[in-house]
Structure 1
Amino acid sequence: MTRSVLRRLTAAAAALVVSTSLLAGCGASADTPSSSTGTAAGYPMTLTSPYGETTLEAKPERVAVVSSVDLDIALALGVVPVISPQYGDAELDPWETEALEELGETTLKTYDSTDGVDYEAIAVAEPDVILATSGWTLDADYEQLSKIAPIVSYTGEDGLSAMTWEQRTESAAAALGRSDQAKDVIDGIAADFATTAAANPELAGTTFTYAVIHPEQITYISYEGSDVTFFTKLGLTLPERASDFGATSAAVSRENLDLLDADILLMGYPFGDEGLLTRSDLEKDALFRQIPAVAAGRYAVIDDAFASPLAYPTPLTEPWLLERLVPVLVDAVAGNGEKRHGASPYRDL
């Protein structure tokens, strides 16, 4: 089992509390943070967070991370952390394995994060700085972590959910003295999206709905104001009814499944049998089969492997998704959405 699967399952309850925006990607409302003050050379640098300030005296050489998102950011910037969390026996995600190999490494030193952040293990690793731009439990961890090393945190009261992957990357890079690398990474990914959009003009102007079956509800992920920039950077647009939903009003009842309709409908079932409905249950539902997008074959399943990287975007997941998810979108627009998932069960009912 990869880290992304465990991250998705263990964060399920927290994700619904923090808001469904995290399951559509980190929201786009936060301003790009200013994480430092100091000399022209950048150090000493004051690192701010909702929980306090720490000072980074010099450019760090030894970097610890406390989340998979922060691991991805470090690797994208060319940094192999001195210690990283590992939930149980979860394996690295494929994009992390590839990035690590490109840096000439095959393994990471890790601590078991099953019971949370291991302060002692991090202290033993003697980091110069700790990346925690996506630290789920940073409110509880900050005091202890700040005794070990300066912390690069999310900023603003809603920073955990509101900062984009670009902002997290820029914030981490500023502290690591790698802002030029961050610009290259961010600009390169933007160029890849532009090239892919130009190569698939049928996506332009196509409306889409992205919804996920959670344990407690059917969640309308692509509401107006959520971060669905992975899709919109490819030319896809939100339907008018997306404005009827929001971070605190994203549930769709079984009686109102028609609200999911758009030019294409994308459904995710990352919780399997633990979801409110299984894929089989939903696809057998008469109201679901009557949705125009479904009836026309313009319905596609977001594979479990895509769910977590869509929910927690990073500079490593974006190119990985771009290569693998765009063909699914193109098939859906063409009315061949079921091709990638075998025979469509609702067509025979």
Structure 2
Amino acid sequence: MTTSPRRLTPRRLTGLALLASAAVFATTACSSGAGAPAAESDGDWSAVTVEHAFGSTEITAEPKRVVTIGWSDEATLLELGVVPVGMAASTYAGDEDGYLPWDLEKLDELGEDKPELFNTDDGMPVEDIAALEPDLILGLQSGLEEKEYEQLSAVAPTIPYLDEPWKTPWQDATLAIGKALGREDDAQKVVDETEGHIADLAAEHPEFEGTTVAAATVVPNSTDFGFYLEGDARAALLEELGFTRAPFIDELEADEGAFFAPLSREHADRVDTDVLLMWHSTPEEREKLEKSDVFGEIGAVADGRYVGYDDPAEAMAISSPNPLTIPWVSDRLVDDLAEAVEGEA
């Protein structure tokens, strides 16, 4: 996971809304970077091709210097034992420098130095990325525009999102990164282990099975709710835990390609779900909403089946799940959901 998106084009606004609405809504790199792959190649390299939204990218030599620009690409890379030479700073949920807690923990575990950071809030810093001398650029969890993809591809082989911006499933992203690194078997093992972890959590909580859930936020610059749709990472993770997406969500109107559907608070009576899970941009926003009469009239809220988050790191960990953040955040998430199912949240 990297930082908040960049310029305020329509796609940028989509990314900005995703980061902020999840309550999820540095130094410029100018050297060659400190990070390096943590494991050496154990065989000859064979060229690989990764298909994606803008066509395909061929990687003809084993990547040694990887740069990540996608939200969670660096975390997936670290879980595969490879340290990027540079990555985008997280200006929302990172520390004062822009490093995320799970990344720092993994770097410490690997005994590796921190990668160089660059800021993407105001645009893709192509020159700064080029200064890192990458031989692979990863942007699977991003809204990378085609022009930017072409600019970055002139620097090094670049892999953007696979199908739709911001919507590459963590499993697909992991396998694509593994393929690009020549570590497909390792990537499959990571996917299997992470899916096994989720399956174990679901097995420990059979009460989740068939229970309806609605994941939502407050839409930025409005008072509307935004309910996450099929294909959104948050909704997908909840379904992997055994929950069923509340049917009313599929009845809401959403823009083409959107990851959430808005619902005016005036129509809060349409929120029909066993459990309501919400992300808030700030504690103040959360407190204001939770004190409002209309919010208290929602059945799940009135019955103690509502869970709210306002911690940026937790929000980002859930909003862009990956093999590193899922174990990092899952214990609290599952405990909170279990209490909500019982009406004790």
TM-score of the superposed pair, with normalisation by structure 1:
0.79
Residue 171 of structure 1 pairs with residue 176 of structure 2: yes
**Where does residue 29 of structure 1 map in the other structure?**
none
Structure 1 residues not aligned, in runs of 5+: 25-40, 338-349
TM-score of the superposed pair, with normalisation by structure 2:
0.79
Residue number among 277, 285, 296 corresponding to 2:303 in the alignment: 296
Kindly state the Cα deviation for residue 210 of structure 1 after the two structures are TM-superposed.
Answer: 1.4
**Where does residue 237 of structure 2 map in the other structure?**
230
**Where does residue 326 of structure 1 map in the other structure?**
334
Kindly state the Cα deviation for residue 287 of structure 1 after the two structures are TM-superposed.
Answer: 2.8
**Where does residue 72 of structure 1 map in the other structure?**
75
Inter-CA distance 255–68: structure 2 relative to 1 (3 Å threshold): closer
The DSSP-based 3-state class of the residue aligned with 1:212 is strand
Residue number among 102, 113, 116 corresponding to 1:95 in the alignment: 102
The one-letter code matched in structure 2 to 1:167 is D
The DSSP-based 3-state class of the residue aligned with 2:72 is helix
Instruction: Output the CA distance in 1 between the equivalents of 2:106 and 2:187.
Output: 15
Instruction: Output the CA distance in 2 between the equivalents of 1:11 and 1:212.
Output: 20
Q: How does 1:244-283 map to 2 (within 5 A)?
A: 244-245=251-252, 247-248=254-255, 250-271=261-282, 278-283=285-290
Q: How does 1:36-115 map to 2 (within 5 A)?
A: 43-51=46-54, 53-86=56-89, 89-115=96-122
Instruction: Quote the sequence identity (%).
Output: 35
Residue 17 of structure 1 pairs with residue 8 of structure 2: no
More helix per residue: 1
- 8 Å contact 2:71–2:320 — kept in the other structure? no
Residue number among 299, 307, 314 corresponding to 1:306 in the alignment: 314
235-244 vs 137-146, which moves further: 137-146
- 8 Å contact 2:6–2:124 — kept in the other structure? no
**Where does residue 242 of structure 1 map in the other structure?**
249
Q: Deviations over 1:252-302 (max 9, x none)?
A: 1121112223111222212555xxxx3233223323222222222111113
Matched residue pairs, number? 312
Instruction: Give the aligned CA root-mean-square deviation in angstroms.
Output: 3.0
**Where does residue 219 of structure 2 map in the other structure?**
214
**Where does residue 199 of structure 1 map in the other structure?**
204
The one-letter code matched in structure 1 to 2:117 is T
Inter-CA distance 231–9: structure 2 relative to 1 (3 Å threshold): farther
10-19 vs 128-137, which moves further: 10-19
The DSSP-based 3-state class of the residue aligned with 1:301 is strand
Kindly state the Cα deviation for residue 15 of structure 1 after the two structures are TM-superposed.
Answer: 6.8
Instruction: Output the CA distance in 2 between the equivalents of 1:217 and 1:251.
Output: 10
The one-letter code matched in structure 2 to 1:257 is A
Structure 2 residues not aligned, in runs of 5+: 23-43
Instruction: Output the CA distance in 2 between the equivalents of 1:16 and 1:113.
Output: 14
Inter-CA distance 307–319: structure 2 relative to 1 (3 Å threshold): same
Instruction: Output the CA distance in 2 between the equivalents of 1:9 and 1:271.
Output: 21
- 8 Å contact 1:225–1:246 — kept in the other structure? no
Inter-CA distance 263–11: structure 2 relative to 1 (3 Å threshold): farther
Instruction: Output the CA distance in 1 between the equivalents of 2:12 and 2:210.
Output: 30
Q: Deviations over 1:295-328 (max 9, x none)?
A: 2211111343322222222221222221221111
**Where does residue 35 of structure 2 map in the other structure?**
none
Residue number among 119, 122, 130 corresponding to 1:123 in the alignment: 130
Residue number among 182, 185, 189 corresponding to 2:194 in the alignment: 189
The one-letter code matched in structure 1 to 2:343 is G
Kindly state the Cα deviation for residue 195 of structure 1 after the two structures are TM-superposed.
Answer: 1.1
